[in-house]
Structure 1
Amino acid sequence: MSDRWIEVAPRVWALRVQELDQTLGLVIGDESCLVIDTGVSAEAGYAFATAIREKTDLPWQVAYTHDHFDHWFGTSAFGEAAIWAVGDGAQYIARGDEQRQAWAARYRREGREEKARDIARSKLVPPNCRVQGAVGLNLGGRTVVLRQAGLAHSDNDLVIEVPDAGVLFAGDLLENGAAPSYTGAFPYEWPQAVEYLLSWKPAVVVPGHGDPADYWWARAQVRDMAETARMCAEVAQGFLTEEEALAHSPFGEATMRAALDRCKELTPPPPPEPEAPAAKPQTPPPPVVVYDIFDYDIDLTR
C-alpha cells in the first residue's frame, strides 16, 4: 500500500500511511488548518507536510493524539506552530527518548537500518499547548473540539471532533484491521471512555491505524473491548481461569494475554499482614496468701 489521501468529509482528510498502517489527519478551515499527528520520524513528517501543502497553504496547528512515537516524531518538519496535547512537554521528551532507543534497536534487528537512522536523528518537538477537559479551536468558519479522553489506550489520549462534518479522529483508542494494544493501557477504563466519546454518534470514525469507518464499526469494537475488560475482572475474581479467558477472547489469545498482564500490573499489592503483638515476658504469678479465720469469743463483762 502506498500513502494515499481519503477525503472523509468536505475539507476533512485522512492520510493512510504504509509504515505501521498509520492514519494521519487534516482538517481545513477558512483561515487555518489542523494537522492530526505527524508520523514516525522527521522524514515521514516532511513527506506529510509536503502532501498537506499540495492541499492548502493555510497556516497550521498540530494536535498529538497521544505520546507514542509514531504519532509525533515527525513534527520538526512543521516549524513553529501551536502543538496541542494532553500530556506535558517533559513527559513527551522523557518517554520519547525511551521509545526512540527501543524502536531504533527494533528496526535494526529487523534489518531496516535506514528506518533506525531516521528515528535516531529525528528532533523531538514537545507540545506547547495543554488540553485539559476540552478545547474548541476556531479554524475560520469551522470549529473543532480537542477532547481529553481520560485513562484508555494511554494516560494522555486526545480525540479530535469535527462536529459540522460528523467526524471523530480517535487516535489509537480504536484500530481498524488490528486488535487494540494493551501495553501501557487501562483495560477497565478504556471501553467506558470510548463509549462516552461515541455518544454523539459521529458518522465517520478515523482510527489511529487502519481505514476510516463508521459509528457502528466503532461501537462493535467497543463492545469487544468491554467483553475483554469483563473477562479480566472475572479472572481477577476467580470466576474464570486464565486459560478460559485466553480461549474465548474476542481479540485472540495474544491480546487477551497482554490485557491480563496489564491488569496485574495495575493491581496494587495486598496490604502486609499485621504483625502479631510482641509476647509479654513471663512473670511468676503473685503469691497466694491464705488467711486462717479464727472465731474469737470475747467476754464483754470484764
Structure 2
Amino acid sequence: MSDRWIEVGDRVWARRLKELDQTLGLVVADECALVIDTGTTAEAGFAYATAIRELTNLPWQVAYTHDHFDHWFGTAAFGESAVWAVADGAHYVAFGDEQRKAWVAKYRLDGREEDARKMAASRLVPPNCRVQGAIGLNLGGRTVVLRQVGLAHSDNDMVVEVPDAGVLFAGDLLEQGAPPSYTAAYPIEWPQAVEFLLSWKPKVVVPGHGEPGDYWWARAQARDLAEVSRLCTEVAQGFLTEDEAAEHGPFGPDSMREAIARWKELTPPAPEPAPRPASAATPPPPVVVYEVFDYQVDMTR
C-alpha cells in the first residue's frame, strides 16, 4: 500500500500511511487547517506536510491524539505553529526521549539502521497549547472540538470532532485491522470512554491505524472493548482463569493477556491479613446464659 488520501467529509481527509498502517487527519476551514498527528519521524512528517500542501495553502495548527511516538515525532517538519494536546510539554519531552532511545535501539537490533538514523535525527516538538475538558477551536467558518478523553488507551487521549461533517478522529482509541494496544491502557475505563464519545453518532470514525469506518463499526469495537473489561473483572473475581479469558477474548489471546497484565499492574494487591495473637489462636468456648421466664397465658381472653 502506498500513502494516500481518503476524503471522509467536506474538506476533511484521512491520510493512510504504509508505515505502521497509520491514519493521520486533516481538517480544512476558511482561514486555517488542523493537522491531526504527524507520523513517526521528522522525515515522515516532511512527506506528510508536502502532501497537505497538495490540498491547501492555508496556515495550520497541529493536534496530538496522545503521546505515543508514531503520532507526534514528525512535527518538526511543520515549523512554528500551535500544537494542542492533553498532557503538557514537559511530559512529552521526557516520555518522547524514552521512546526514541528504545525505538532506536530496537531498529538497530533488527538491522534497520536507516530507520534508527531517521528517528535519532528527529527533533521532538512538545505541545504548547493544553486541552483540559473540551475546547471549540474556530478555524474560520468551521469549529472543531478538541476533547480530552480521560483514562482509556493512555492517560492523555484526545479526540477531534468535526460536527458539521459528522467525523470523529479517534486516535488509537479505535483500530481497524489490528487489535488495540493495552500496553499503557486502562482496560476497565476504556470502553466507557468510547461509548461516551460515540453518543453524538458520528457518521465517520477515523481510527489511529487502519481504514476509516462508520458509527456501527465503532459501536461494535466498543462492545468488544467492554467484553475485555468484563473478562478482566471475572478473572479478578475468580470466576474465570486467565487461560479461559485469553481463549475467549474478542481480540485474540495475546491481546487479552496483555489487557489482564495491564489490569494487574494497575490494581494494587490486597493487603495481607493481620496475624492473630497467639492467645487468640484457640478461642475460648462460648458462654451460654439461660434465662428462665415464669409466665402464664390466660386462654380465656
TM over 0.5: yes
> What is residue 192 of structure 2 aligned with on the other side?
192
**3-state DSSP of counterpart to 2:200:** coil
Which TM-score applies when normalising by structure 2?
Answer: 0.91
> What is residue 295 of structure 2 aligned with on the other side?
none
- The one-character-per-residue Cα deviations of 1:52-99 (angstroms, maximum 9, x if unpaired) are 111111110000000000000000011110000000111111110111
- The one-character-per-residue Cα deviations of 1:18-51 (angstroms, maximum 9, x if unpaired) are 1000000000000000000000000000001111
Q: Distance in 1 between matches of 2:48 and 2:140?
A: 23
Match runs of 1:88-107 below 5 Å: 88-107=88-107
1:258 corresponds to 2:258: yes
> What is residue 124 of structure 1 aligned with on the other side?
124
Q: CA offset at residue 270 of structure 1?
A: 1.9
> What is residue 145 of structure 2 aligned with on the other side?
145
Q: CA offset at residue 102 of structure 1?
A: 1.1
> Which sections of structure 2, spanning at least 5 residues, go unmatched?
280-301
**3-state DSSP of counterpart to 1:35:** strand
**3-state DSSP of counterpart to 1:247:** helix
Q: Distance in 2 between matches of 1:18 and 1:266?
A: 34
Q: Distance in 2 between matches of 1:32 and 1:78?
A: 14
Q: CA offset at residue 230 of structure 1?
A: 0.1
- The one-character-per-residue Cα deviations of 1:172-212 (angstroms, maximum 9, x if unpaired) are 00000000100010000000000000000000000000011
> What is residue 207 of structure 1 aligned with on the other side?
207
> What is residue 14 of structure 1 aligned with on the other side?
14
CA RMSD of superposed structures (Å):
1.2
Q: CA offset at residue 238 of structure 1?
A: 0.2
Q: Distance in 2 between matches of 1:269 and 1:260?
A: 14
Q: Distance in 1 between matches of 2:191 and 2:239?
A: 21
Which TM-score applies when normalising by structure 1?
Answer: 0.90
Q: Distance in 2 between matches of 1:156 and 1:34?
A: 19
> What is residue 179 of structure 2 aligned with on the other side?
179
Letter of the aligned partner of 2:256 in structure 1? M
Letter of the aligned partner of 1:38 in structure 2? T
Q: CA offset at residue 275 of structure 1?
A: 5.7
Q: CA offset at residue 271 of structure 1?
A: 2.3
Tell me the matched-pair count: 279
Quote the sequence identity (%): 75
> What is residue 270 of structure 1 aligned with on the other side?
270
1:133 corresponds to 2:130: no
Q: Distance in 2 between matches of 1:165 and 1:110?
A: 42
Q: Distance in 2 between matches of 1:74 and 1:16?
A: 15
> What is residue 39 of structure 2 aligned with on the other side?
39
> What is residue 110 of structure 2 aligned with on the other side?
110
> What is residue 65 of structure 1 aligned with on the other side?
65
The structure with the largest alpha-carbon Rg is 1
> What is residue 244 of structure 1 aligned with on the other side?
244
Q: CA offset at residue 273 of structure 1?
A: 3.5
Q: Distance in 1 between matches of 2:19 and 2:72?
A: 14
